[in-house]
Structure 1
Amino acid sequence: MSDQNHILVEKQDDILTIRFNRSDKKNALTTAMYASILEALVAADQDETVKVILFAAQPDMFTAGNDLKDFLAQDAAEEPEAMKMLRQLAVQKKPIVAAASGIAVGIGVTLLLHCDLVYVGEKTRLRLPFVNLAVVPEAASSLLLPDIMGRQRASELLMLGDFFDAQRAREYGIANAVIANEEVFEYALAKAKELAAKPREALLLTKQLITKTRRRDVQQRIDDEGVIFGERMVSEEARQVMGAFFSGKS
């Protein structure tokens, strides 16, 4: 399985950067890309020289979410690489920083909920279109979003599925700060370096304490969402919506 360099993994000093690199397809994530991300995350936690993980892409595009054609072509009998990656993300020991700018859709937003520090570009547009596609939320977003912003705001984002801007992402608690698109990566990298300079064990233990209460609930919700998501993908409702999407009628 090859992602054709659609995921770039670079270690600079004690920071591991995982960069989406499929800009011709709006960084839509494929099975191979999820497998590469999973491999990088596991390796990062096992590598004593890695202190911080940084997710990034390009100034005008974080990710448009799942590659639907690739997603629909997966063997239903096998566990999706996306699920494996999400489970790892939920238990990641090392701090995670994200630099998201441009467009962030689906997993491009829910991934941010598992990051410890999130910085978004000022022109970024975010969206959680799961219901619009006749499926359900993933990455434990149905649990984490209400925790972060309250039920009504979470319902607004998850049920209506409309685009929202960077300022609202910050207001709702998804992002720490809004930065100029062309500067968001360097800003996030600087914050990652700040984290990496902290006492190692104290930093890891602090993340563990922050996430401890919800860790088991998050893992269970990822599984629960995954079961329903899989059922929805083969439902008649989803078949009709996906058909309209691919035919350009949606």
Structure 2
Amino acid sequence: MILQSDDTNRVRTLTLNRPEALNAFNEALYDATAEALLAAADDPQVAVVLLTGAGRAFSAGTDLTEMQARVSDPHFVPGKYGFTGLIDALSRFPKPLICAVNGIGVGIGVTILGHADLAFMSSTARLKCPFTSLGVAPEAASSYLLPRLLGRQNAAWLLMSAEWVDAHQALRMGLVWKVCEPSELLTEARRHAEILAAHPISSLMAVKNCIAEPLRPGISAASARENAYFAELLGTQVNAEALAKFTAGRGM
């Protein structure tokens, strides 16, 4: 099962479960995660969703083998929701969303944090947005959400440099809310999730909507800009060479 789900005390924990691929998102995982968020949104027994990863990674981003296939394989079949469907589900998710970054996060494993209401990070984890090293554009409305969350210069460095950021840098930037020792990460994230989940869901949703609704037009516009640039740059010579390097195991 590529996405595990567990319910405890009105908290639904979703665990990305492709540890052999560092929880990289292929079309199946994009679909499963989008479907899980839509189901949690509609479930009256779920007050909070906690998202984490299995193994040593939170998520290594989009599966680059599939990204290459999207460019080169005329028979490539996209998923039902895919990347854009997941981002739509995230941006519209009406309940508190907490991320527990247990290991490395790359690409969507970082930009997903812009959609989180709270983010916890293991002290040994690290994060990277590899967009410029892959010759592509940013994603997941990160060009809009991250400057608001981190300030323009921190966001610019994160999105442009393709350099690793450690947990304490991420905390100073404001990308995550708390840094925990690895053995304490899920305990702390779940403890905070259960504090929220003890409150009326209707009230939690009202607060979430008051925070999120003003951002949604900006998220939609940023996603459209990013997707247009991404489509323009995907498959160019620079991108093709970078993908070949990464899929050969030399880029990470």
What TM-score do the two structures reach when normalised by structure 2?
A: 0.92
The AA in structure 1 aligned to 2:20 is D
What SS does the aligned partner of 2:127 have? strand
- Provide closer, same or farther for how the CA distance between residues 150 and 116 of structure 1 changes in structure 2, counting only shifts above 3 A: same
Given that 2:22 and 2:55 are in contact with CA atoms closer than 8 Å, whether structure 1 keeps it comes out as: no
User: C-alpha displacement at 1:76, in angstroms?
Assistant: 8.0
Is 1:223 the counterpart of 2:243? The answer is: no
Q: Structure 1: 5+ residue runs without aligned partners?
A: none
User: C-alpha displacement at 1:249, in angstroms?
Assistant: 5.1
* Match in the other structure for 2:176: 175
* Matched ranges for 1:1-250 at <5 A: 5-58=1-54, 60-74=56-70, 75=76, 81-248=82-249, 250=251
Separation (CA, whole Å) in 2 of partners of 1:231 and 1:45: 34
What SS does the aligned partner of 1:73 have? helix
The AA in structure 1 aligned to 2:9 is D
How many residues align? The count is 246
- Provide closer, same or farther for how the CA distance between residues 82 and 231 of structure 1 changes in structure 2, counting only shifts above 3 A: same
What TM-score do the two structures reach when normalised by structure 1?
A: 0.93
User: C-alpha displacement at 1:247, in angstroms?
Assistant: 3.5
Separation (CA, whole Å) in 2 of partners of 1:72 and 1:79: 19
Separation (CA, whole Å) in 2 of partners of 1:78 and 1:198: 36
User: C-alpha displacement at 1:80, in angstroms?
Assistant: 6.1
- Provide closer, same or farther for how the CA distance between residues 134 and 147 of structure 1 changes in structure 2, counting only shifts above 3 A: same
- Provide closer, same or farther for how the CA distance between residues 56 and 248 of structure 1 changes in structure 2, counting only shifts above 3 A: closer
What SS does the aligned partner of 1:174 have? coil
Given that 1:7 and 1:19 are in contact with CA atoms closer than 8 Å, whether structure 2 keeps it comes out as: yes
Report which stretch shifted further, 186-195 or 53-62: 53-62
Report which stretch shifted further, 103-112 or 50-59: 50-59
Q: Structure 2: 5+ residue runs without aligned partners?
A: 71-75
Q: Deviations over 1:50-89 (max 9, x none)?
A: 1101101136321111111123324488886011110110
Given that 1:87 and 1:222 are in contact with CA atoms closer than 8 Å, whether structure 2 keeps it comes out as: no
Provide the alpha-carbon RMSD of the alignment.
1.8
Give identity over the alignment, percent.
33
Given that 2:25 and 2:61 are in contact with CA atoms closer than 8 Å, whether structure 1 keeps it comes out as: yes
What SS does the aligned partner of 1:137 have? coil
User: C-alpha displacement at 1:21, in angstroms?
Assistant: 1.0
- Provide closer, same or farther for how the CA distance between residues 182 and 58 of structure 1 changes in structure 2, counting only shifts above 3 A: farther
User: C-alpha displacement at 1:131, in angstroms?
Assistant: 0.8
- Provide closer, same or farther for how the CA distance between residues 134 and 220 of structure 1 changes in structure 2, counting only shifts above 3 A: same
- Provide closer, same or farther for how the CA distance between residues 30 and 248 of structure 1 changes in structure 2, counting only shifts above 3 A: closer
